[in-house]
Structure 1
Amino acid sequence: MASLWIKRYLFTCVFISCVFISLQTREEVLLDMKALGGELGWLTSPSEQGWEIVQTVVNSSLLYTYSVCNVESTDQDNWLRTTFIQRRAAGAARVLVELRFVVRDCSSFGGASLTCKETFNLHVAEADADVGTNFRKSQFRKVATIAPDEITAHGELRVNTETRALGPLSRSGFYLAFQDPGACVALLSVRVYYKTCTATVQSLAIFPETVAGGDSQALTEVTGNCVENAASQEPPRIYCTSDGGWVVPVGQCQCLPGYEAVGESCQACQTGFFKASQSDDKCQPCPKNTVASQPGSRLCPCLDGFFRAPQDLDTQPCSALPSAPRHLEAVTLESVVGKMELSWSPPAETGGRDDLSYGVSCERCDGAACQPCGERVRFDPPAAALQDPRVTVSELEPHLNYTFMVEARSGVSQFSPQRATSSLTTALRYTDPPKVTSMRLDERGSTSLSLSWAVSRRAHPHAAHRYELMFRKKENNSENDVTTYTVLVLEKSSVQISDLVPGTVYVFRVQALSPLGTPGVYSMEHEFETLPEVKDKPDNSMTAIVGASVGISILLITIAAGLLCYRRKNQSTRQDPEDTYFSSSEQLKPLKAYVDPHTYEDPNIAIHKYACEIQASHISKQKVIGAGEFGEVYRGVLKVPGRKETAVAIKTLKPGYTEKQRQEFLSEASIMGQFSHQNIIRLEGVVTKFKHAMIVTEYMENGALDSYLRDHDGEMTSYQLVGMLRGIAAGMKYLAEMSYVHRDLAARNILVNSSQECKVSDFGLSRVLEDDAEGTYTTSGGKIPIRWTAPEAIAYRKFTSASDVWSFGIVMWEVMAFGERPYWDMSNQEVMKAINEGFRLPAPMDCPSAVYQLMLQCWLQDRSKRPRFADIVSLLDKLLRCPESLKTIADFDPRVSIRLPSTSGCDGSPFRSVSEWLESIKMSQYSENFTCAGITTMEQVLQMKNEDIRNVGVRLPGHLKRIAYSILGLKDQTSSLSVFAV
């Protein structure tokens, strides 16, 4: 009765549960109990009283289940074995068994509950072939014990679903077996299957269908193939998960040249399009000057007459050859014999390229015969690959015709035999020397006359003519009137003649000379008289005595220079190119006295009286070049309608200023606006009607003199340095004549333009400085730059032109020392103490003796004995006119001028390393040179000679001498070295 009740119960269970069966996607089914129906043919053991098949009709269809329910008997061991299940796919190493079953609650059987079980077991046995009815339990291994999640009791149906994985499987097929130990269970469905990753195309790669991994955690690596017309650097790969999904693609296929990706395929580029490389890019239209391509083209060929350079990409347009240069001209440079400048305009057609260059060749023709110029003619820059449309040609001969061929070239010129060439045949042509039209006396003394002259307007504006000056003493006896001429050949239209007789009339005439030496027409004779000799009177004042002593001091310095100059004038008829560093003496003209803008009740009146107002829209700032006391300083451009665009420096007033700060800021412009001299910074104007006030000055390309000198240490000659000093002295002479005292003359306040011309700037010390990085001495009247200030100005605030002369002496030392800091690293108190005790800065290395003697004159304690700026300008002019006077070098003491071991540390200990020593003499840039040369100890340094220093890699003369002098000082070190060493 129990068995029949269970069967009926299970029939109802099957009918209800069948609606929950669903199909899985991406699955390959090996066994489906429901689909086989009554043809299962499963074996049972024992054949009776064990598992039995039950059938019922559901919706006119027969459903079959297996059940067993021997709960009243002990020691149950009932087996149910399936038929042979073939794996089919060799890769199906792991299969899934899905069971749907019902288990009856043991408590519902009353007394039989003691022997009842609520679980059954799943077994598997592998085989290579079907063994039929040969069933042996020993061949099976247990897979799992199947326990229900829910137990059916009291008429409530509880269907359980369990899925177990079998694997790894290695043989052709297998059997499943279900062992019942004494439960009341019904198998509603048994389904055996494995999962696959379906075939797919990803990133232009084809991957085949793949059996899912045998382990639940394993990924199966699958190698694919690129689609047609695609390739990859490495084979594309992807991973198949145990659940039948694709993950983690590796490697990428790209369409071949001439093909582009469309969906998951590569299609040929259309007509008129191309693709040059294997990539993900799309096809591009053919570039300019190319032939329309065929489908699937890798590139578009150039049209006839168009080319690509070797460095051009296939994606770039094709280029044509450039046309010939235009407007070829030759201009004779009259400043130099045998030199002309060729210039031309770029070609009208460049062929669409920006790598244009020019080549120049030359033929020289003597009569009918022509031959290449070869090395006889020099081109500057070299004529092989010119970037600019001009070249200077030198070493030309005046009597020959020259034919110049200028060729325009580009990166595609090599592909065509045609040449884009223009030619010009010319010869040197010099204009006749101009006529001297007037001569004037600029300055005279008892033994000297300063003259200058002008030439006719027809003179070439860029010609640098030489002049022949003839002069003689005018004699009363007419027979001797023309017999004692002195002839000078000059490079400039001015001259100062010395060693003349006091109170004597001299007759002058001058003519211009062409670059070839052809003389022009002599000017009219002009007569000029020297001043009579001034004799001393017995009742001269003390001031006259002091003045005479100053004159004697300067005379002692310049006697040698005068003698050398006189000998030079009689031995040579042509001055050196270095004469460009001095100019004619300033004309003697009355100057307006300087007016302090602070004396105006309303400072704005002074600003608008002395400074021009500029519209803010006319100024364009370009770059910050520094920072002033009141704000930043910019490089910019001033463009006023009707005037040429000018580079300027723009001082700005920082935001948040007070009205007092604004007036102090603009007061400097009120000062500068009163000055007009080539060695004084020029004021362009001010901006006061804009919310941000500005001062606009001329732009000085090389910046402050001290930093410029440090950047060019050892690169300039003494002659060039003295030329710079002459310009500064001329500017200060002008200021002194206007009764203006600068108070802050220092190399940092001198600006240098692109021609190495120096100009005095920074006229702001009349106000109290808020921040001075150079170090100042505070008094009741403001702050003073100690290192540059005269002793009386420090002690008593006695600022005069004489105190400016002291400062000029310090500037001279800065210039000759290439921007070295005066008094090195001594404190301000040490500097003042040393000066009062008579210490003066030593001569810099290679400083001419005459220049150093002038420094010492500027540093005389008694200010009345210091030279005037007019005297300084005169002396520097004489030194420049006689460069031989600069060859005598002042004594140089390295123990004072260069840091030595005894002063390298507070305890006087020697240098610990070569790099420390080099840093102390500011030559640390050579540390690596010494190391590479194996000079690593100070003992090795002391053994070095000049040749050893050169071999290390020190080439600049100034640097070579600095290091050599330092080694000399190290050898001569004593414990009593000056405390003033750096």
Structure 2
Amino acid sequence: MTLSSLPHPLLYGIDYILTGGVGDVLLDMRASGSELGWLTWPYEQGSKQGWEVVQRSLNGSQLYTYSVCNVGEHEQDNWLRTTFIQRRPSASRIFVELQFIVRDCNSFDGSSLTCKETFNLFSSESDADIGTSFRKGQFKKVATIAPDEITSRNELRINTETRVVESLSRKGFYLAFQDIGACMALLSVRVYYKTCPATIKSLAAFPETVAGGGVNQALREVAGACVENAVSEESPRIYCTMDGEWVVPVGQCQCMPGYEAVNDTCRDCQPGFFKAFVSNDACELCPVNTKLLSSGALFCPCAEDFYRAPDDPTTGPCSGLPSAPRELVATTTQLAAGKLQLSWSPPEDTGGRSDISYSVECRRCEGTACQPCGEKVRLEPASSGLMDTRVAVSELEPHLNYTFTVEAHSGVSLFASQGTPHPPKVTSMRLDERSLTSLSLSWAVAPRRPVPQPTRYKLTYRKKDDNLDVTTYTVLILEKSSVQISDLSPGTAYLFRVQALSPEGNPGGSSIEDEFETLTEVPLSQSNTGVIFGAAVGGAAMLMIVVVVLLIRKRSATTLFSPLCPSSFFKQLKPLKTYVDPHTYEDPNMAILKFASEIHPSHVTKQKVIGAGEFGEVYRGILKAPGRKEGAVAIKTLKPGYSEKQRQDFLSEASIMGQFSHQNIIRLEGVVTKFKHAMIVTEYMENGALDKYLKDRDGEMPSFQLVGMMHGIAAGMKYLSDMSYVHRDLAARNILVNNNLECKVSDFGLSRVLEDDPEGTYTTSGGKIPIRWTAPEAIAYRKFTSASDVWSFGIVMWEVMAFGERPYWDMSNCEVMKAINEAFRLPAPMDCPSAVYQLMLQCWLQDRSKRPRFPDIVSLLDKLLRSPESLKAIADFDPRVSIRLPSTSGSDGLPFRSVSEWLESIKMSQYSENFTCAGVVTMDQVLQMKNVDIKNIGVRLPGHLKRIAYSILGLKDQTSTLSVFAV
């Protein structure tokens, strides 16, 4: 019996074959247009018939397909192998797209002996084409292929399935298809790999990259280069996902001075425009009285006879010199007393400036000889710096001739007449470090012309607070371009302005007014809260402190019932929706009906097992519900033989999940309750549990990315706490990660028996209380609150920074509880930012009322992400603590008897063969190794390299006992 016995010949269905998919194609069965030359096995079938090639003509093109239909024979084992497929070296993960039809076994009217409706896909790697040599043992199974649509007698149904072959490392590979008794036809085989296309993002160019980072690695980090005429402080890089999409760009390029960002390029400033600093701002129009340079101007110099004052910004216009004062008049009403009054009118041309002042010169003449009047003649109020157009002259002597000269001045007069170089403009300010009560700042200057660097700076700062009647300005004169300011208020914003001073004390152009804020009342370190009077100011001597108090009139009060309430008002409001415990329902089925939508089981297709839960297996599958977009889902199942109580406990998690709607909480798609096999259907998270995801990427992810993950978890927990829901089992194993590295809180099945059953202190529906993640009051008194969830979140932060390390290592639960009650805490993980570790310690405060709340945690993590420089300070790390070593054993006094035992203790046993091949077989040899030696034996991952190096450092210190940090 063959497939050709179907009522519809194969040719009729070929027009409907789909051709979707993306990527660089390595093999395309349909596009070949010639004999494929694929190998079939067994070579001689006798009376049996295995795979056979079928040729068809369609629109003038030749199409080749393979079919097999031996359902009337016993025990089929028919193989079809492709020709050798060359692999691109960096493509370790390829996709196989299959299009096929399978005959319904029920359509054979009982004549089938071994009919199947599935077939198997295999792969085999090789460095060369082995020709017609074929051995089944060379192949490893990729997947069992099952059709979604079965072909009946009267209707031809075509299936399209895609499978992934991973971990490829050799020059090429073969694919093979095993028939075990199906009646089917293989219509199309397309093999391809995905790439992230060449792109430009944030003015950084990234090359075309093969998708994915290798085995169990969802992302491939790709270094980029700034486009022409652009620069970046941090090397630009980006990540290529397994689906061929670019995500998480890091390091922004900016156009150099004289260039502006236009689309994906840096174009030079057009004639008549300029740009002085590195930025992505547009070029500015040259101001008035300046020279219009050619394209690419960094600045617009003043035109001839026009100048800029030292305080004028380089972006401002240039000014001319003022003309002479007019109509000078002397009034001698009291000449007998030696007095007169001089007055004049302002100059007709002020040069475009408003800072006009006047000076008066007096000369005394006897005959033809003239000389300065000296101190004998008094001018009131002064002889220079006059803002008014009059001056009183006294102490004149009789019978002498006096000559008075009045001169007008402006901000550019001294600069223009003497050619005195003015100090440069401060271009940018930067926050280097901050705490509750202090800020450390530094700044850069850009000279306008070749002049000596200034020796001093003038820093002015004040609180940013519009609600006070008095604003205090503090002025510091500094000798370095950095400062540490202490004795500030926690959680307060301050405004800073810096001027450069020349050696003569002349001020330079002011910087823009920058805002920086001290840490909030959620303290990151108790040690920073002390008030230090006269703190060191960036290593520079404090020359002068001037406090100026200005009275500022309040603006009109806002209407009490303003329609635009401040955001702080809304922060005090409780959410309208609160969590409802499904256990309060007399009939638990009512909770399911209220909070979860019912799904018909025919709309759910289970594909493969991805895990095991407390009640049964967890599958990856497809949801094809009417009115919904088809998509991947996770399916939790209830194992056979369950009791009614187990069924209710199983479905209670859906009753809880169905009440939540937040991007960082796992989304419930629906439940199946009205049929024999109950199921919970949730969104599918491609990267699985956070702890395993981090373990597979130890040391490969930057702190900024890890803090971003923490921020997502904290946002989800803030939502739950606002809903008055206590999770009770927050841990990295219960956080799921999707393809975009978005973290979502999951696992809402922890039993509520704890508060009612005195014997339930350590018991939940899933086993023991997770002691390592649970707050001390929850263990001792069963006090589960959002504060106890905050404690657990601190442990999750530690897990994230330690790349999935087990909290408290191999300590027993009793040891953990004893250590916590004695005020000891986990040490900082390796390379953990100090700010992050200080937040962990706050989450682990013994007094739960003093722990931060989740809104505070979200706010703080958000500020850390907006100020990446705050993550550069690394907490102290002690390898003797963070990598726990077993007790010393052996006569040589070393902690380990063998290299393999040592590597196993630090979870680096995968490098045992590397050490052996390098001849490092004793612990004495290990102690002699340096970082370069560790690299040379093949340890390349930064995290693994550090772990091994720090462990060797701990071994050298001969430390075998566990130490922990006290709060």
Query: Is the shorter-chain TM-score for this pair beyond 0.5, marking a shared fold?
Result: no
TM-score by length of 2: 0.43
In terms of fraction of residues, the more helix-rich structure is: 1
